[in-house]
Structure 1
Amino acid sequence: MPRRLLILGSTGSIGTQALDVVRAAPEGTFEIVGLAAGRQWEPLVAQAREFGVDLIALGDEETASRASAAWDGGRVLHGPEGLVHLVLESGADLVLNALVGAAGLGPTVATLGEGIDLALANKESLVVGGELVMQLAEATGARVLPVDSEHSALWQLVEAESRGGSLEAGTIDTLVLTASGGPFRGRTRADLGDVGVEQALDHPTWAMGGKITIDSATLMNKGLEVIEAHHLFGTPYDRIDVVVHPQSIIHSYVTLCDGVALAHLGHPDMKAPIAFALNHPERRPIPMRPLNLAEVGQLTFEPADEETFRCLPLAREAGREGGTAPCILNAANEIAVHAFLNGRIGFLRIAEIVEATLDEVAPRSVHAFEMLYDADRAAREAAAALVAG
Structure 2
Amino acid sequence: MTATEDLIAAADAHSAPTYSPLPVVVASAEGAWMTDVEGRRYLDLLAGYSALNFGHTNRRLVEAARRQLERVTLTSRAFHHDRYAAFCAELAELCGMEMVLPVNTGVEAVESAVKTARKWGYRVKGVPAGMAKIVVAGGNFHGRTTTVISFSTDPEARADFGPYTPGFEIVPYGDLTAMRSALSENTVAVLLEPVQGESGVIVPPAGYLPGVRELTRERNVLFIADEVQSGLGRTGRTFACEHEGVEPDAYVLGKALGGGIVPVSAVVSSAEVLGVFRPGEHGSTFGGNPLACAVALEVIAMLRSGEFQARAAALGERMHRRLAGLRGTGGVTAVRGRGLWAGVDVDPRLGTGREVSERLMDRGVLVKDTHGSTVRLAPPLVIGEQDLDWGLDQLAAVLEDAG
TM-score normalised to structure 1 length: 0.29
Q: Give the number of the structure with larger relative contact order, counting CA–CA contacts within 8 Å between residues 6 or more apart.
A: 2
Task: Return the structure number with greater helix share.
Answer: 1
